[in-house]
Amino acid sequence: MTIALEIPKFDKPVKVLLAVAAQHSDVVVSLVQTATDCLDDLNVAWDRIDVPSASEIAPSIGIAERMANFDGYVALGAILDDGLLHSETEFRDAHHALTLLGLQGLCVGNGLLAVNPNENYAHKGKEAALAALHLIALSRKWGAQRKGIGFKPSFDEYQIASGGTTV
């Protein structure tokens, strides 16, 4: 039984990066379409980068986190489920890398799939976009509850040094 979550609502604008693996473009095109349709319907700003394969999705998100200003990320890609060890290893490693980004606090919706070309996976793009939005909502909810601890100022407070002597 699947429990449908309410679509999160935001009081401030949200910007999401879609990191898309170019492999198996026939599947990825539909993933991207449903993800972008979902984000557009919810008035969420988004940008897109394309990388050669699923292995580069997590590093590209890591770079974007360090050098750009996104609230969350949607990882989209397809790895052919051909039963070969290489494909299985690539899939597991890419998923593991995305999980590690999430554990570091990044809001990543995972739409990386092991696919059979005869099946339709289009809805997974929308699901990954919604997952990222839910994580962003949690991040904003809990991020606003910070309180000063020791010498650390509270979330909305800035402390400016003044006075003293210059050496």
- CA 166, CA 51: separation in Å to the nearest integer? 50
Closest CA to 19 of 60, 55, 52, 53: 60
Q: What is the DSSP letter of 94?
A: H
Which H or E element spans position 76? strand 72-80
For the question of residue 134 being annotated catalytic, the response is: no
What's the full length of the chain, in residues?
167
Closest CA to 58 of 82, 41, 76, 70: 76
Identify the active-site residue in 86, 95, 96, 134: 86
Q: Which residues are catalytic?
A: 86
